[in-house]
Chains A and B, each alone.
Chain A
């Protein structure tokens, strides 16, 4: 069976490694992008089943990235979950308005809980 592709746009390498390590490698293929543009390129190429997107990224913010994803007809149907440590009501609202499927504040969840949330969108 082909592995489910997941794209993780996250510039913090150690956090990306922790998420990757906690997921079942036999079922999922996790690609990491360190920047928004790299993430959009990889999304176009790999057509992942889901995109996990950080907000504070080096060159372009996650919000700008989300906007581009949602206005690109080739990838706009892929669900995007925001995974950030920003998390005021206004940021959450903004992300949802831009078309995010969910908004997860990193520090609020254990790694298993985050993975459960991700899996929910893959069903």
Chain B
């Protein structure tokens, strides 16, 4: 589990009153653009920014579905990560379950309508109290109803009914959907389970929610089961204890649970990373296409308000792409799976690529990006071309981002011996240079900006994860706060170092040293 591996590194750190462990930050970072995209799509669909054509509605509807998937994916990831990190932490009490179920149905109404689906509710007339943690039970019911709709056919009926069975309340969620193939029914509650027939329907899913649901219900002293007939439908049965005595009697001991899963967990860690990559990237890519189609104008012309909303969605989507990429890099780094494919590289080629990529952005801000003279660039280093490009891109990107309009970004290169590098290390307060062993000497690449500079306090934390100016949790726009951390790690993996000098209000210079190939 990506989030768990990383979590240990930041465990215990708190900003103010808000817990800022990796999971909290990552989910907040992901949800912020997701919410912005969702609300902008809502506004477009509502015709409030101007009437849209049927074709446009269809394209926006697709983007909406992708967004819907992202919401669910982030929620599932979060729940799964929390669960594996802390186990199930419950605060049970006697609660009336009826309003909770009603709210879940209300929340799923829009989604059900989109699938032409009717939800029928069969409730007892009087309040039904169960002994459970309502905040944890609600997402369980939510995901069961959501699945019932998601895996149903058009014009479906989902029935949610409540019934007393001895010491328990039985909540049944019945659908008339695709069902679960008999051969796979034994695996339904395992992590990442996705039935063959579900994969074929192209319904996206992470296969995490039933796994989580079972854990929560088990820990609540309840039970979750199902019956299913392929192509006819599935019913999930959730039994919740009516009082604390029943709940305590049935709880599976933590120890028992831990033993059975330790092995399973190890096996799945790698898999988790690749599943996440695939599952989050695909809907983001698809949304990008949808937006480009809308912008292209073939589905109808957009007015200025609509264009602004589409641009806003586009920026949010781009931010999510960067964030997902950074989070995955981080996960790979933590798992020791970060590949560095070393080969001789020509600095000139890489720098030209990077500068070309920022041309438009620099022009927009009227920032001059200066490159050293061509003859100075005839240097060869050894490294992974993609990764070194990523490092330099990140430095130039930061420089352009934090430099005000009409500023200057200057890239410099210099060839030094190990001795000279050692001297720099002792002369520069902020340089912690550890790699000095290259016999062929080092390249020092510098990126200088005329930006806002970095305060003394911020300087200390610059290369830590999720750092972004003051408190990352307070700033919601731009950046993931992972860039410099990942940059430093990549440079270190190449036997090089990164450091900087900075003056508040004047600008910063970032330096990287990399061993020369010849």
Cα distance A113–B111 when bound, in Å? 12
Q: Does the CB pair B135–A92 fall under 8 Å?
A: yes
Instruction: Report if B96 contacts A (CB, 8 A).
Output: no
Shortest Cβ distance from B255 into chain A, in angstroms? Answer: 24
Instruction: Report if A88 contacts B (CB, 8 A).
Output: yes
Total of A-B residue pairs, C-beta within 8 Å: 96
Neighbouring B residues of A91 by C-beta, 8 Å:
18-19
Q: Which of B28, B48, B477 contacts A85 (CB 8 A)?
A: B28
Given that A61-B16, A89-B135 are contacting pairs, would A107 and B34 also be in contact in the complex, using a CB cutoff of 8 Å? yes
- By beta carbon, the residue of chain B nearest A18 is B39
Given that A86-B28, A89-B135 are contacting pairs, would A64 and B17 also be in contact in the complex, using a CB cutoff of 8 Å? yes
Neighbouring B residues of A21 by C-beta, 8 Å:
43, 48-49
Q: Does the CB pair B476–A63 fall under 8 Å?
A: no
Q: Does the CB pair A22–B43 fall under 8 Å?
A: yes
Q: Which of B17, B39, B46 contacts A61 (CB 8 A)?
A: B17
Instruction: Report if A44 contacts B (CB, 8 A).
Output: no
Contact with B along A1-38 (1 / 0, CB 8 A): 00000000001101100110110000000000000000
Q: Does the CB pair B32–A90 fall under 8 Å?
A: no
Shortest Cβ distance from A49 into chain B, in angstroms? Answer: 22
- By beta carbon, the residue of chain A nearest B473 is A56
Q: Does the CB pair B82–A88 fall under 8 Å?
A: yes
Chain B contact residues, majority secondary structure: helix
Instruction: Report if A42 contacts B (CB, 8 A).
Output: no
Given that A14-B36, A86-B28 are contacting pairs, would A61 and B18 also be in contact in the complex, using a CB cutoff of 8 Å? yes
Determine, out of B71-79, B288-296, B455-463, the stretch whose residues face the partner at the interface.
B71-79
Q: Does the CB pair B476–A11 fall under 8 Å?
A: yes
Neighbouring B residues of A87 by C-beta, 8 Å:
31
Cα distance A88–B82 when bound, in Å? 9
Neighbouring B residues of A22 by C-beta, 8 Å:
39, 42-43, 46, 48
Shortest Cβ distance from A11 into chain B, in angstroms? Answer: 7
Q: Which of A15, A19, A109 contacts B107 (CB 8 A)?
A: A109
Q: Does the CB pair A106–B82 fall under 8 Å?
A: no
Given that A12-B476, A107-B34 are contacting pairs, would A93 and B91 also be in contact in the complex, using a CB cutoff of 8 Å? yes
Neighbouring A residues of B110 by C-beta, 8 Å:
110, 112-113
Q: Which of B18, B38, B39, B475 contacts A55 (CB 8 A)?
A: B18
Q: Which of B31, B82, B312 contacts A105 (CB 8 A)?
A: B31
Q: Does the CB pair A86–B17 fall under 8 Å?
A: no
Neighbouring A residues of B89 by C-beta, 8 Å:
89
Contact with A along B454-474 (1 / 0, CB 8 A): 000000000000000000011
Give the residues from 38 to 71 in chain B that come closer than 8 angstroms, CB to CB, to chain A: 38-40, 42-43, 46, 48-49, 71
Neighbouring A residues of B473 by C-beta, 8 Å:
56
Instruction: Report if A101 contacts B (CB, 8 A).
Output: no
Instruction: Report if B136 contacts A (CB, 8 A).
Output: yes
Q: Does the CB pair B35–A90 fall under 8 Å?
A: no
Given that A22-B42, A22-B48, A88-B82 are contacting pairs, would A15 and B19 also be in contact in the complex, using a CB cutoff of 8 Å? no
Shortest Cβ distance from A117 into chain B, in angstroms? Answer: 10
Q: Which of B43, B133, B135 contacts A18 (CB 8 A)?
A: B43
Instruction: Report if A111 contacts B (CB, 8 A).
Output: yes
Q: Does the CB pair B31–A63 fall under 8 Å?
A: no
Instruction: Report if B24 contacts A (CB, 8 A).
Output: yes
Given that A11-B476, A113-B107 are contacting pairs, would A89 and B35 also be in contact in the complex, using a CB cutoff of 8 Å? no
Q: Which of B24, B39, B42, B474 contacts A88 (CB 8 A)?
A: B24
Neighbouring B residues of A18 by C-beta, 8 Å:
36, 39-40, 42-43
Cα distance A108–B474 when bound, in Å? 21
Cα distance A91–B78 when bound, in Å? 14
Cα distance A112–B47 when bound, in Å? 13
Q: Does the CB pair A110–B42 fall under 8 Å?
A: yes
Q: Does the CB pair A111–B17 fall under 8 Å?
A: no
Instruction: Report if A75 contacts B (CB, 8 A).
Output: no
Cα distance A18–B39 when bound, in Å? 7
Q: Does the CB pair B75–A108 fall under 8 Å?
A: yes
Give the residues from 46 to 101 in chain A that come closer than 8 angstroms, CB to CB, to chain B: 55-59, 61, 63-64, 85-93
Q: Does the CB pair B35–A106 fall under 8 Å?
A: yes
- By beta carbon, the residue of chain A nearest B19 is A90
Cα distance A64–B474 when bound, in Å? 14
Neighbouring B residues of A108 by C-beta, 8 Å:
71, 75, 107
Shortest Cβ distance from A1 into chain B, in angstroms? Answer: 23
Q: Which of A15, A59, A90, A93 contacts B39 (CB 8 A)?
A: A15
Given that A11-B476, A110-B110 are contacting pairs, would A85 and B18 also be in contact in the complex, using a CB cutoff of 8 Å? no
Q: Which of B46, B49, B82 contacts A112 (CB 8 A)?
A: B46
Cα distance A109–B67 when bound, in Å? 11
Q: Does the CB pair A57–B474 fall under 8 Å?
A: yes
Q: Does the CB pair B31–A107 fall under 8 Å?
A: yes
Given that A18-B39, A89-B136 are contacting pairs, would A107 and B74 also be in contact in the complex, using a CB cutoff of 8 Å? yes
Cα distance A15–B17 when bound, in Å? 24
Cα distance A62–B43 when bound, in Å? 26
Give the residues from 192 to 231 in chain B that come closer than 8 angstroms, CB to CB, to chain A: none
Q: Which of B34, B312, B475 contacts A14 (CB 8 A)?
A: B312
Shortest Cβ distance from B284 into chain A, in angstroms? Answer: 15
Neighbouring A residues of B17 by C-beta, 8 Å:
61, 63-64
Neighbouring B residues of A57 by C-beta, 8 Å:
474
12 further contact pairs, Cβ within 8 A, besides A91-B18, A106-B31, A107-B35: A12-B477, A21-B43, A55-B18, A63-B17, A64-B16, A85-B27, A87-B31, A89-B91, A90-B19, A110-B39, A111-B38, A111-B46
20 A/B residue pairs, CB under 8 Å, sorted by A:
A12-B32, A12-B477, A14-B36, A21-B49, A22-B39, A22-B48, A56-B28, A56-B474, A59-B474, A61-B16, A85-B28, A88-B24, A88-B82, A89-B91, A91-B18, A106-B31, A107-B74, A110-B39, A111-B38, A112-B46
The 4 closest A-B pairs by CB, nearest first: A106-B35, A85-B31, A107-B31, A111-B42
